[in-house]
Amino acid sequence: MMRTFRIARPDETLRRELADKIDNLTKPKGSLGRLEELALQIGLVQQTLCPQLHRPQNIIFAADHGIADEGVSLSPKEVTWQQVFNFVHGGAGVNFLCRQHGFGLKVVDAGVDYDFPSGLDIIDLKVAHGTRNYLHGPAMTADEMELCLERGAEVVRRCHAEGSNVLSFGEMGIGNTSASSLWMTCLTDIPLPRCVGAGSGLGPQGVSHKLDVLTRALDSYRGDGSVTDVMRHFGGFEMVMAVGAMLQAAELRVLVLVDGFIMTACLLAASRLCPEVMPYAVFGHCGDESGHRLLLDAIGAKPLLNLGLRLGEGTGAICAYPIVDSAVRMINEMDTFGNAAITKYF
């Protein structure tokens, strides 16, 4: 039986008090823009006038995709396991950002087609050695999908037990922009050609081939179109684990920092399962993958940054974290007009 997440929307009772506190800080009303919106959102999530951010962590879920055998990515499949080694050795893009911004890093083997040696700092939650090729049938079974949801949730419970109340999520899996494009078209009705982009760097001919493969996969789909069936048929183990992780985070009132195209597709799926997840999500950036802006618009998301990023791994979400931190510092550290004996000048 699939895990049920009991997510409650933040109680709105505190909204007026939060807004009054923010409006009475020593600044013109609304002059700190998105920082004020974020402070209000985080205060509602945490149900306090004095929100705090504790022990931020980035969780990377890694897995392989059977569709990679069709040449839909510029990168060969072995890059997945090679990059996992890079994560644990500290040399990847996400590593310097974690060090810079004080994030812990958890690397999860959700289904990499490789057997890692023991003793590495990897959380082994492998479901299988990669998904099946969805050009020829479902990527995973219903049992595998349910196991992924539960295992993603398990990692978040570990972080929560360690004192984390803000988490970002990243992924590693050659072929996962393809899966994300299919989730996007199936769950938003945006035409597939508008959902398909260059991934890790395909040229026009490569994008055309990728679109052809994904069109054939979509044309051969005979499922019922439900969220869970779309997730199961086209998804990756790492993506479904991320969906479970996001839902568990929201259930625990943990702030969710959403990264790029793939993690936004995972938040899309999570929100279709439980719309109540949305108030817990902060969208870090709009990436350079062609479908990302369309997807953000489709779910009404307002990203904090636009830096042309398309690396994944959680990098864009972590880059945005100082803005989230600034919002919390604003509501806690700025003085009020009354306390500072300043005449309200607006």
Q: Which residues are catalytic?
A: 313
219 Cα distance to chain centroid:
28
Question: For residues 98 and 58, is the Cβ–Cβ distance under 8 A?
Answer: yes
Q: Which residue has the tokens 């945490």?
A: 46
Ordered DSSP codes for 281-332: EEE-B--SSTTHHHHHHHTT---SB-------TTHHHHHHHHHHHHHHHHHH
Question: For residues 199 and 210, is the Cβ–Cβ distance under 8 A?
Answer: yes
Distance in angstroms (rounded) separating the CA atoms of residues 46 and 54:
12
3-state secondary structure 33-89: HHHHHHHHHHHHHHCCCCCCCCCCEEEEEEECCHHHHHCCCCCCCCHHHHHHHHHHH
Tell me how far apart the 2 most distant CA atoms of the chain are, in Å: 71
150 Cα distance to chain centroid:
17
201 Cα distance to chain centroid:
21
Distance in angstroms (rounded) separating the CA atoms of residues 251 and 276:
9
Q: How many angstroms separate the Cα of 130 from the Cα of each of 35, 138, 154, 235, 238?
A: 41, 12, 20, 11, 10
Distance in angstroms (rounded) separating the CA atoms of residues 208 and 169:
29
- Element of type H or E holding 124: strand 123-124
Question: For residues 122 and 107, is the Cβ–Cβ distance under 8 A?
Answer: yes
Residue 149 tokens read as 């949801």
Distance in angstroms (rounded) separating the CA atoms of residues 104 and 59:
8
